[in-house]
Structure 1
Amino acid sequence: MSTRTYYRGADAVVTDERFVWHTTSTRVFEIRELQQVQLVRGQPAARRYPIMAGGVVLLASAGLATLTTPPSILLGLLTVAIPGALAVTLSRTRSRTWQLEATYRGRDVVLYTQSDPRVFNQVSRALRRAMEAARPPTTGYGLVVT
């Protein structure tokens, strides 16, 4: 019997037997031993743009005090305004991370983390299909006469 692959990507592989997450170290989970799998919506990933822009603004404002001609004042104001606007824009477009968490061999684990919703949905859908396929066959839940 061959192994069926539900998803194969750069950072994860989902087969009918295993869930493999290629992160700093490869993590392998047996599908049949996963319990209580759940999707967790994480917090937005922190970005350092406002901190960097604040530093630029401080440096630029110190330099503004020494400017005396109108062109140099305009240049100084642009030096302050552009990083500030960039920091505000980028801080509002922070990406959100999602996680798949489960109980594996009696321990709570993080199966997978991703900030790209398209990839995360593909991986979570593949895991759901693999888990459904790994369940023992039922006899119709008692609703079919055999």
Structure 2
Amino acid sequence: MAANSDTSAGGRVYYPGPGIVVTRAYIETSQARYRIGDLVIDDPSYLYAHPARAVALYCAVVELLLATGVAALYGSAGTLLCGSGAVAAAGLAGALWADDRRNPRRMELTAWYRGRRVVLFASADHRVFEQVRRAVIRAREANERPQP
């Protein structure tokens, strides 16, 4: 008979690593091992940091405004081109905004442990982060006392 791979000394394993192991009794990271009952889990943090993209977008907007002003000042046919450029720039800005909202660059799962905030897990991979987050939720639910 093969060993059951979803159990350990800490009970049922909800996420077996790498970087974090979530069981029914504890969460083990590279820094420490935390009992599930001692943790107060925070909501996940999604960090949207794109400074280079923001600067490029800002420069494009400034350039478009300057070109529109010059075209209007000289009364050239470039105004039509600037109008179409504005539509393209608005589409680009909308696409960048949608990408930033859907794809955060860093996600952190934090908790309070004995009065201090600890980072349990951090990742840029949305799929792995959600697997860990769901494993922590299942571990917390397994440790709750049933309501009468």
**Pairwise TM-score range, normalised by the shorter structure:** 0.5 to 0.7
Relative to structure 1, is the Cα distance of residues 43 and 126 closer, same or farther in structure 2, using a 3 angstrom cutoff? Answer: closer
Cα deviation, 1:21-55, whole Å, max 9, x if unaligned, reads xxxxxx42213387123131446625555654342
TM-superposed deviation, 1:114? 5.0
Count matched residues: 126
- Structure 2: runs of 5+ lacking an equivalent: 144-148
Q: Give the number of the structure whose residues are more often helix, by fraction.
A: 2
3-state SS of 1:86 partner: helix
Q: Distance in 1 between matches of 2:27 and 2:39?
A: 16
Question: Counterpart of 1:83?
Answer: 89
Q: Give the number of the structure whose residues are more often strand, by fraction.
A: 1
Cα deviation, 1:63-90, whole Å, max 9, x if unaligned, reads 33157653x4433333333223321343
CA RMSD of aligned residues (A): 4.2
Do the aligned partners of 1:46 and 1:94 also contact (CA within 8 Å) in 2? no
3-state SS of 1:124 partner: helix
Relative to structure 1, is the Cα distance of residues 94 and 46 closer, same or farther in structure 2, using a 3 angstrom cutoff? Answer: farther
Relative to structure 1, is the Cα distance of residues 33 and 88 closer, same or farther in structure 2, using a 3 angstrom cutoff? Answer: closer
Candidates 25, 28, 32, aligned match of 1:29: 32
Question: Counterpart of 2:109?
Answer: 99
- Structure 1: runs of 5+ lacking an equivalent: 21-26, 136-146
3-state SS of 2:101 partner: coil
Q: What's the TM-score once normalised by structure 1's chain length?
A: 0.53
Q: What's the TM-score once normalised by structure 2's chain length?
A: 0.53
